[in-house]
Amino acid sequence: MGNWRKSAAGIQPRNKKAESDMEMHLNNLTKPAGSLGRLEELAVKLAGMQGIPDVSHPAVLVFAGDHGVTEEGVSLYGQELTSLMVKNFVQGGAAINVLAKEIGASVTVTDIGVKGETPGAESKKVKNGTGNIAVEAAMSLEEAEQALNAGADTAAEAIEKGAKLIIPGDMGIGNTTVSSALIAAWTGAGVNDISGNGTGVTGTQLRLKQDVIRRAVRRISCTEPLDILAELGGLEHAAMAGAMIEAAGRKTPILVDGFIASAAALAAEKLAPLSKEYFIFGHRSAEAGHGRALEMMGGEPLLDLQLRLGEGTGAAAAYPLVSMAAAVVREMAVFSDLGIDA
């Protein structure tokens, strides 16, 4: 079983010397200095993480869990859709399966807390869904630790199989409500500013959702990151955070998806501050509140396609840009190859 605490303790800052050397190398490539813009910034960041940039064999790690807060009517769909969507992932019919195929990524689907059976998924179930955060803790501290370790274990398995980059993904009806609660607790942002439509709720139902989030945040008085995660988070948030911490400990880039994954990334940063050095933010979600989470982490997304699906889809869409940055380093000629003294 993975040990997220051990992984957190082993995270090293990005190598600034490697980044400086990469900047010099990029300036010797056959182009005007800086002319590839953010692709060059990506190459420098990757060098600081890995030395020689290599993002081959990307692995999408989808964690699925149910949320007791759906009892409050915060979603257009019931919990039963979570297990049905897990079946869809396993059968290869979900959006993330399609996008992962296009970028040559593997997809691992892990049941971390789905209510009911999920044939075909990897089973690391902690329990059958979380508690209703409006009135009770989502999980115990022990369950949060178990989910963090399960996520770390999943990331370790993918990296040991050859993944040079991970894309954590999510599935769980009710998880935008939970994500909003986490972000509100950690940023102090107003609930109305960070709670959005999720599955498509509007009007009275959106106001109900916002009231539920407000009740959940007001219910707690804890300040420690793990306590807040256990009180308000989802099992999939904890597992994604564990996966991110493990990847950072192994100097493996983490391509962060949208709103839900960013709430998990914020959890990872709170629990292991250096993990943020290995984040690459794939896209800006259309979901309200994502901008505040990005602001808290200093994240500048690569894309803005008005996506709000989750699953890892926005990060998968951004992956070709990260791959291009590594390819520039690997394949472009330098001026001396042309007999030119740069």
Handedness of CA 98, 101, 105, 109 (dihedral sign): positive
Q: Are 169 and 310 in contact (CB under 8 A)?
A: yes
- From 316, 323, 324, 276, select the one nearest 300 (Cα to Cα): 276
Rounded to whole angstroms, the Cα distance separating 81 from 246 reads: 29
Q: Which is the catalytic residue, given 40, 72, 145, 311?
A: 311
Whether the CB-CB separation of 329 and 41 falls below 8 Å is answered with no
Q: Is 224 a catalytic residue?
A: no
Q: Of 296, 289, 234, 241, nearest to 264 (Cα)?
A: 241
Separation CA 42–CA 336 (nearest Å): 24
Q: Phi-psi region for residue 16, left (φ > 0), alpha (ψ -120 to 50) or beta?
A: alpha
Residue whose token pair is 């940039």: 53
- Number of other CB atoms surrounding residue 316 within 10 Å: 28
Q: Where are the beta strands (DSSP E) in the chain?
A: 59-65, 106-113, 122-123, 166-171, 254-256, 279-281
CA 62 to chain CA mean position, Å:
10
User: How many other C-beta atoms can be found within 10 angstroms of the C-beta atom of residue 332?
Assistant: 15
Residue 284 burial class via C-beta count within 10 angstroms: exposed 0-12, middle 13-18, buried 19 and up: buried
Query: Which residues are annotated as catalytic?
Result: 311
